[in-house]
Chain A
Amino acid sequence: MELMNEIKIKSKNLNVYYGEKQALFDVNLDLNEKEVTALIGPSGCGKSTFIRCINRMNDVIDICKVSGNIEIDGVEINDKNLDVVSLRERVGMVFQKPNPFPKSIYDNISYGPKIHGKGETKSELDEIVENSLKKAALWEEVKDRLDEPGTGLSGGQQQRLCIARAISVNPEVILMDEPCSALDPIATAKIEELIDELKKTYTIVIVTHSMAQAVRVSQKTGFFHLGKLIEVGKTEKIFKNPDNKMTQDYITGRFG
């Protein structure tokens, strides 16, 4: 018997609307601690919408309404009184397009810890910057040019910088929305290797359009279609022998 990790995030009857249009329908999905969960499905099926619920990023979209529950460690986060800033400290996010701040590499990393009140002194910040860059497997490539702009790095390096930025505040969860879609195979391989390393410490959710990537990096996979979670299960099972015909049609390229 393989041991399953404990549940870190639990969504219960999650419904999301953009104005009149419903984007998610009664999504019930458990995400295990220190595991990678991959979310797959055709464009517009609600993958990004789902992960944006986990750090309340949908709050910034005026017309977006969320109902139902999302629990992290058993605590409801879909709660008006919840401190969203500290939630986002616990739940970091990496986007499809690397989006470093137009600042130095050093400032890109130290910015988060500073506003969250971590790292009081310069030496504390130095340490956080170094550790984060090391964890993101970028330190060796940038240690001699920390004061150069983050935007001057290559795409793959920028994405690792964004991952370093996400882990600089020592989160518990990292959400990644198609983090490799703009990267070449080598940069992709580096990020995937990094994800493998990061999952020892963090709970990771990754949205991807690459089936092979989902197989490579994740332990659990959820398939969405038209706002519904169609099937979720062990990644191996989903890609070798899914239960649902729609899942099979999607992953084998028979959707139409």
Chain B
Amino acid sequence: MSNEHTVKSYEEELRYLIDSVIKMGSLTESQLVDSMDAVIKVDKDSIDKIIKSDDEINKFRSKIDTQIMTLLVKRAPMAIDLRETISSLKISQDLERIGDLSKSNAKKVKPLPLDLPEELLGNLKRLGDLVIKQLNDVLDSYVNKNYDKAKEVWEKDEQVDDLTYIAMESVIDFLSKDKKNLDFSTHLIFATKNLERAGDHITNIAESICFLIKGEYLKGSRPKGKVIQQ
């Protein structure tokens, strides 16, 4: 926003809302990093901490909801302010869902054996790293109101789909080698799927940011990678 509002407190309220979304975003990002770390290192000690951090993210979400409702009734925002308000609502919803998925992945670490095959972990890590990078980029595009960068994230979800496919294959491979692996393989399958879902929420956020900046939704359907049969 270039010019300032004539009413200073309105300007401050909007700024405060945007700041809350940014803070919630960085909390969500570090939670995702931690949960990915826990999975790859099969680090069972960090699970509780990650589950706890989800509470904080949820608190942010309800704080943002309250701010938005107050803004709507007090200011009846128009044009860019209206889009700013609506996109905060949508982005915070997607962030909360990403938080839930990180939490769910952390919980899956408990039953995992400590000697998972290198290749499987490697594929899972590559997927996780990409999803983390996507979240980092999309938050960056939100902070800097960078349309092109948001659109890039949206397009890159195709790669998330592809890496999900590869990671999934190596889990299935592992599973088919020994029936005894069945138990924790299902956890790994869910964890992989959760990362893909987190990727979808990130593309939603990218869409919200594009709408926020230009006032119109991205046209056409997003490029799709290999689709995994449900």
- Which residues of A are in contact with B by a Cβ distance under 8 Å? 211-212, 239-242, 247-249, 251-256
Contacts and interface: CB of A to CB of B under 8 A. Distances in A.
A253 B79 contact: no
A239 B78 contact: yes
A252 B76 contact: no
Interface of B: 1, 3-7, 10, 76-83, 214-216
B79 A256 contact: no
Contacts of B79: 239-242, 247-248, 251-252
Contacts of B78: 211, 239-240, 251-252
Given A240-B82, A240-B215, A241-B83, A254 B5 contact: yes
Contact of A252 (B5, B214, B215, B216): B5
Given A241-B79, A241-B83, A248-B79, A254 B6 contact: yes
Contacts of B3: 249, 254, 256
Contacts of A247: 79
Cβ-closest 6 pairs across A and B: A241-B215, A254-B3, A251-B78, A248-B79, A252-B81, A239-B78
11 contacts: A211-B78, A239-B78, A240-B78, A240-B82, A248-B80, A249-B3, A251-B79, A252-B5, A252-B78, A253-B7, A254-B3
Given A240-B215, A241-B215, A241-B216, A253 B6 contact: yes
A168 to B, nearest CB: 35
A211 B10 CA distance: 16
Contacts of A211: 76, 78
A134 to B, nearest CB: 33
B4 A252 contact: no
Nearest to A212: B76
